[in-house]
Amino acid sequence: MASGSESTATGPPGNSTNTAAGGSTPDAPRVQGLQLAQKTFAGLLNPVEATPAEWTRYTVNRYKTIKEAKSTRNIFPRRKGYESPDEDGDDYDFNDEDIDRLIKNVRRSVRKIELEMELPEKSLQKCVRIISCDAMLEEVDDIQKQLQERSTFNGGIQTMHSRNGWRSICWGAYDESNGNFGKNWRRIEVGGVDLYNDGLIDICEALFGPLEELEADADQALHLKRKEKLVFAARLLMAVVGIDYEIACEDDEGDVNPGEGYSTRGPIKLRWQLEGLQDKWVARGVRKAAGIELTRDPEEAEKGRLERVEVASEPNYDGYSSEDDEFGSGPPGCANQ
């Protein structure tokens, strides 16, 4: 080390010391506990009760994890003057790196939830980091081929959600069992929402802190507000990977799945296929886990059931021939995503 002084980071920025030739003296009074966590991570939402020592350990461990995972990407850019993801002003550029396009979409999806929850801007965006990216864009990659290769070597896309201890939010696929492939292929949709009320409460409290317990006779508006927060928790889990699904919580609201409003111009909104038909059963399943049932939900569930029966009986898919695809397993883009 050169003579004089040189800063040596031994922990989170809010708790660093300055090492000089004459010994070690703090740059400023050492910060500990929750104050250290707040300073290091630019604010925490509804921090849980814990001792100063526990908060210090949390901060150090989280800081080290971020530093050790050198390949992680923060979705919030550090450039000076940045105000809003809507100001990027970028149309689709298929020369962009896939991860950069995904990050922009994640940022916008998370920001939308910030606005709807009336949280301070950037409070959620700053918490999201991408450890690795295995996303492929249909406009750039041969997704159908990749799905088939993964099915061959990794045991099948349709059962991926149930392997390695994963617990899914939702899953879906076009069924290829019982001879449903090649020239005999039919558009048979299978899928489900695996969320349940207690599990969704656990997720919500992990993300936003403890939920307020309400008496059974409490105002209905308070009960709805609590259930809406559960829906936001599920939406946030999807938003942090770029899936922007607007889920209604009241009768005068509509569900907008991540395939609607897609455009190749203006702010990037990636199109994700969570449902294979018109029925928005993912939104309905999330609502059910949160304890919400809209007036229209039973009717739409029945319409969806009838739609699946009707479509499954149709010969082939819009005239699709298995000769169009060397794998012979359905139309492009039909596999589980």
Burial 228-241 (b: 16+ CB within 10 A, else e): bbbbbbbbbebbbb
- Tokens in use for 269? 């909104």
Sequential DSSP letters for 62-76: HHHHHHH-TT-EESS
Percent of the chain with pLDDT strictly greater than 90 = 31
In contact, 283 and 245? CB cutoff 8 Å: yes
The pLDDT-based confidence of 14 (bands split at 50, 70, 90) is low
Distances in whole angstroms, Cα of residue 259 to Cα of each of 191, 217, 232, 233, 276: 17, 39, 19, 20, 11
pLDDT tens-digit readout, 285-314 = 999 999 999 999 999 999 999 999 898 887
pLDDT higher for 331 or 307?
307
Mean per-residue pLDDT for 29-34? 81
Q: Given a cut of 50, is residue 181 above it in pLDDT?
A: yes
pLDDT higher for 179 or 243?
243
In contact, 263 and 309? CB cutoff 8 Å: no
Least confident of 29-33, 170-174, 213-217, 234-238: 29-33
Distance (Å, rounded) from C-alpha 197 to C-alpha 56?
Answer: 32
Q: Which helix (H) or strand (E) holds 7?
A: strand 5-8
pLDDT tens-digit readout, 318-328 = 544 444 443 33
| Total-model pTM | 0.74
Distance (Å, rounded) from C-alpha 296 to C-alpha 317?
Answer: 29
Collect all residues with Cβ–Cβ distance below 8 Å to 183 and sequence separation of at least 6: 316, 321, 322, 328
Mean per-residue pLDDT for 50-72? 83
Q: Which helix (H) or strand (E) holds 202?
A: helix 197-208
Q: Given a cut of 60, is residue 9 above it in pLDDT?
A: no
Residues in the chain: 337
Average pLDDT, the chain: 75
In contact, 289 and 196? CB cutoff 8 Å: yes
pLDDT tens-digit readout, 252-291 = 999 998 867 655 555 566 778 888 888 999 999 999 999 9
pLDDT higher for 231 or 309?
231
The confidence score (pLDDT) of residue 19 equals: 43
The confidence score (pLDDT) of residue 311 equals: 87
